[in-house]
Structure 1
């Protein structure tokens, strides 16, 4: 169970201290904090809270949103990501997960603005440019940029990277210690090239994080919040976990769930359920 990590998004309404308390009591070895709970107490205090609970930080979520086309938007994105890099270093994780952003002028979960830029090719090019801008600063702080592909239903508004292969291609110009990828079952389980992409990521030493949750139906009104507990949906965790294992990944496994009904449950109950599902569906295949 030492490799199991509770992502704080799974217990969204808990503070960092509360999330660490229930994680430690349940038997997790790590937590994966989001920036909101870190910023609520400040990164130095967040580091203390995590360490005092006997846990480690498996990653920090999230950096990214790199797709701005105007100078002010580019500056704002770079400034925010440099702060995220500093936060990751301070709480003691080398892995900063990036959600790269959707089309400029998109509204997460909503209709496009009148001036939305629909040029996907150019948008992905800007993502590559911004990664190049940030790599030297991240390397100075001992932090790796970890690219997360999102399911194609989120390509317009949240991530113009939709497959693991696309993420690896973006990482390829940089050292594996500088840019890696995350395998998130919710986002990549459907990909017919997933096995070969995971194997490639392993050969290139790019797998920086393995995140698990299930694809549950029906989708919520907000599809982003449709993630289910491991074992409640359609994902083949035995097979995908085996591929990740065979690719040589030996790091932490985060459970990251966005689900209004799960968020409404007591955090201690959720943590216990998450660990039980991890023990049943994931750990035997690592």
Structure 2
């Protein structure tokens, strides 16, 4: 046995294999840089055509995954592995994975439908699958929503598509719904006039449609006003809080009494004898 020849063959094989490893690493690095560069060019081209950012991100994700699969197949071919067999194996594995991971495929299909039907886009403020917030990304399988308290929430696309979706950004304006309690003795017309004047001074409240201030119901404390200014979606919380302040300030400036519950009784007692003339007394007086 000639150990020198064996050693030379081993060194040659290891050298060749090592060179292939280095070549594969170099190919991976260069190809990744080219893929990233190509994706940047595609993104720039989409932006120049004013394509919807949601659709752009979705297409770029698909292109990136496809190019990386092609890259892996090319590297395997570089090592002399039969790529046709690998492609068949990849297809078989895809079928097996698809059967085992049906939920992922459902999320993928739901993501495609979300892109096609476009019930919302990136930047919209929505409620979907029980989550309320701003859409930051629509991915292949999930959608990222940032809630008002700045928490990133990742929701499966299929869960969103199979549930109700509220898009607060779809219309040019939305309504702020608040209530204002009045005392029994307050003139409701005066209160309505004061509130309308006060609300008109709030920044970002739109004039068309004009704010609504009307009696919506009654309770034991008195009439209840529905206070409903309108504003753009991005100003909702500012208008909401400022309207609460306006209700407080308007009623305080008018000197309205604090609402309190009252109970009215008939002029006859339970046995049919007349009362002493007091037709309305408080529950506290009855208890005493």
- TM-score under structure 1 normalisation? 0.21
- TM-score under structure 2 normalisation? 0.21
Larger relative contact order (CA 8 Å, sep ≥ 6) = 1
**Structure with larger Rg:** 2
Which structure features the higher share of helix residues? 2
